Copies of this chain bind each other. A is one copy, B any other.
Amino acid sequence: MARTASLSGFPEWLPEERLVELHVLDTLRRTFELHGFSSIETRAVETVGQLLRKGEIDKEVYGLSRLQDDEGDAAAKSDPHALALHFDLTVPFARYVVENAGYLAFPFRRYQIQKVWRGERPQEGRAREFTQADIDVVGDGELPFRYDVEIALVIAEALNALPIPDFLLRINNRKLAEGFYTGIGLTDTAGVLRSIDKLEKVGPAKVAELLKEELGATDEQAQAALKLAGIRTMDTSFVGQVRALGVTNELLEEGLNELEQVIAAAVQRAPGRVVADLSIARGLDYYTGTVVETVLVGHEQLGSICSGGRYDALATKGNRKFPGVGLSIGVTRLVSRILSQDLAKATRSVPTAVLVTLNNDDSWGAAQDVAAQLRSRGIATEVAAKAEKFGKQIKFADRRGIPFVWFTDDDGKHQVKDIRSGEQVDADPATWTPAEEDLHVRVTAVGGN
């Protein structure tokens, strides 16, 4: 485990590690589909113009060019029609919604699990190629706020089903923050958010300095902004704490009301999983209400494992607006951590439950018949390729992690051996089935999480 990738930032898993990743992906898919989200995929490639529309140049986009193309690439780079790999699934999804609006039923609920690429400096928790799992609900013209509540609950349920340590969704609301800043007389609210976003990295003293130097805030204004950012409650008591700061503003009230709804629902339906954290800013410009980051408790330095929020104008088509709310899980970041810290394990290393041995070289056909009968009942089965000594065939199964070995003697008598216990019993290929826990590979949390 934890081998070094042969290309830095491009992790690849061994087969038994991939089983853990597949379990994570299958669990997310199942949860999303149970909540009525439809699967879509978008192409890996967008035009540079589309990708940079929101000024996201800081994502270190990978441009594409055909190796055999003789034309200069310097030109292609500044060409908005040039192709590049997507760096997230939100921007491509917005394009997809606009292009296919005539074919979709709104509010449109989709999940999307795909690889994305960012040419950033690799480090633990940050790869250059990684998988994201996104859910979004997008409306045509308007989208009830209730979906903000719902999407937080769906994500809490999805994360809860994974073999990971405790997690905490840290939720804030842009309207609340922006309304508050306006209320205390700081009009460059985006600027204030950018400074507050640095709070965890540089600390309150430095942020106060930034607010004063870069945005012309008074000491009082800076302290008020920091006081707001210091509020953190597991229930709706943040509302009282904000009101106690004595600022009145219409947008602030709207934001308080929205965040209160999210937290009230979460206290009831996902207790202990959600905190109102008024320091959460999210760097991206397109969020307009609810904003979310998620930490793995005890692994905070890993960064957010699930982020997102409400955006009211990411996707537009002429006068038509498609407001949405969505969250994105960093699957590779999670799986890397599960693997590097042995948080979960597959019960065996291959899908195979049974190896059918060969009695002699002519018995391959008969062995295939046995295998076909087992497979017809969902039992993953391999057939040995050579009639080696049984001891060698058993060793082969053991080495591959296959729990059962099947024998058929010259008289057509069948036996199956559990090579873990050594127990060997008569068996009928038409009816024999392993115990439920041996039928499929299962992935279980280590250490009882």
Contacts and interface: CB of A to CB of B under 8 A. Distances in A.
A39 B22 contact: yes
Nearest to A57: B68
Interface stretch (A238-246, A247-255, A379-387, A420-428): A379-387
Contact of A380 (B36, B41, B110): B36
Nearest to A364: B146
A67 B63 contact: yes
Interface string A361-399: 000110010000001001111110110000000000001
Nearest to A352: B36
Given A64-B62, A67-B61, A129-B45, A383 B38 contact: no
Interface core residue of A37, A38, A364, A399 (most chain B CB under 10 Å):
A38
- Across chains A and B, which 7 residue pairs bring their CB atoms closest together, nearest first? A36-B352, A36-B382, A15-B38, A73-B73, A10-B43, A33-B351, A144-B385
A62 B44 CA distance: 12
A60 B65 contact: no
A62 B73 contact: no
Interface in A26-73: 33-45, 47-48, 57, 60-69, 72-73
Interface string A157-197: 00000000000000000000000000000000000000000
A28 B6 CA distance: 29
A324 to B, nearest CB: 13
Contacts of A443: none
Interface of A: 3, 6-7, 10-15, 18-19, 22, 33-45, 47-48, 57, 60-69, 72-74, 77, 83-85, 95-96, 99-100, 103-105, 107, 109-110, 115, 117, 119, 129, 144, 146-147, 150, 153, 265, 268-269, 349-352, 364-365, 368, 375, 378-383, 385-386, 399-402
A147 B60 contact: no
A144 B386 contact: yes
19 contacts: A6-B95, A7-B47, A12-B40, A12-B41, A15-B38, A15-B110, A19-B39, A33-B351, A34-B351, A36-B350, A36-B382, A38-B349, A38-B350, A60-B68, A62-B66, A62-B67, A63-B64, A73-B73, A146-B385
Contacts of A349: 38, 105
A116 to B, nearest CB: 10
Contact of A382 (B13, B18, B109): B109
B41 A13 contact: yes
Contact of A7 (B45, B65, B103): B45
Contacts of A57: 67-68
A57 B36 CA distance: 44
Nearest to A110: B15
Contact of A73 (B39, B65, B368, B379): B65
Contacts of A47: 7
Nearest to A119: B66
